[in-house]
Amino acid sequence: MATEEYASVWTRPKRGRRREQPALTQEQIVAEAIKLLDAHGLEALTMRKLGAALGAVATAVYWHVANKEELLELVVDEVYGEIDVPEVVDPARWRDAAEASARSLRAMIVRHPWTAPTLADVGMNYLGPNLMHVSDRMLGVYLGAGFELIEADNASKTVLGFVIGIASVEAATISKLKRSGKDMASWQAEVWPAAVRAAEPYPRMRALYAANNGADLEAGGEDTFSYGLTRILDGLEARLIRD
């Protein structure tokens, strides 16, 4: 029995251009979809709205992508092209490349908060060239550090999981602020008193809120990210030294 090929925008044959088809390219569709997503979030993206933004009917969009799932494959791959993963030239400096690539991934998610809910599908489900390129380069970082292939893959996935997890929380906050029309400072001023009251019966949480009273949440997010990334890389480095 023949195995059915996995359905993906990257695996199905491309359609030829019809003479009556409007001059609308895949690149235009992807660029406009990213604009809509950045401005209004994942839930706002529909083929109808995308067609209207492009000055075309939805059927013109369907000529290039079969459905919204295929469109998301394309836009996720496009923004993955923004991630920079340095090559490891000196094995002793592998941590520099690991940190730079982790920060570049986090920055991409923060720039495009709508990516956070889609990243659970990234991996074997997404086959785009930018994603494959980034994955290959990230694997190269840990191979360059001295890990064998399978452990290099595990190391890369461990760092990736941390970055996606913490950046997804940041992305959710950014999306919520965008919907509310508030900036971080005004949102913090509004929410903080309620959070302090909720923590009152819990001594450790009460102490934590007291210690963070007046703190800059954005700066605190950077500190939390740096702390977690450093500790993970410390553990991977210790693993290398032990071996």
Query: Which residue type, as a one-letter code, is found at position 221?
Result: G
> Quick one: pLDDT band at residue 22, thresholds 50, 70, 90?
low
Judge whether residue 242 has pLDDT over 80.
Answer: no
pLDDT digit string (tens) for 35-65?
A: 999 999 888 899 889 988 988 877 788 888 8
Distance in angstroms (rounded) separating the CA atoms of residues 80 and 225? 20
Return the CATH architecture of domain 91-181+213-242. Orthogonal Bundle (1.10)
The predicted structure's pLDDT at residue 62:
83
13 by Cβ neighbours in 10 Å (0-12 / 13-18 / 19+) ranks as exposed
Higher-pLDDT residue of 56 and 104 is: 104
CA distances from 30 to 72, 86, 163 (A): 9, 26, 25
Higher-pLDDT residue of 51 and 23 is: 51
Long-range contacts of 222-231 (CB under 8 A, 24+ apart): 224/166, 225/106, 225/166, 225/167, 228/162, 228/166, 229/99, 229/102, 229/103, 229/159, 229/162, 229/163
Residue extents of the structural domains in the chain: 1-80, 91-181+213-242
Nearest to 177 by CA among 124, 110, 236, 122: 110
What is 1-80's CATH number?
1.10.10.60
Distance in angstroms (rounded) separating the CA atoms of residues 21 and 37? 25
- Identical fold, 1-80 and 91-181+213-242: no
Lowest-pLDDT range, 15-29, 50-64, 69-83, 156-170? 15-29
Neighbours of 145 (CB within 10 A): 23
The predicted structure's pLDDT at residue 1:
47
pLDDT digit string (tens) for 170-229?
A: 998 888 888 878 888 888 888 889 999 999 999 999 999 899 888 777 777 889 999 999
> Quick one: pLDDT band at residue 88, thresholds 50, 70, 90?
very high
Judge whether residue 13 has pLDDT over 70.
Answer: no
Judge whether residue 5 has pLDDT over 70.
Answer: no
pLDDT digit string (tens) for 134-187?
A: 999 999 999 999 999 999 999 999 999 999 999 999 998 888 888 878 888 888
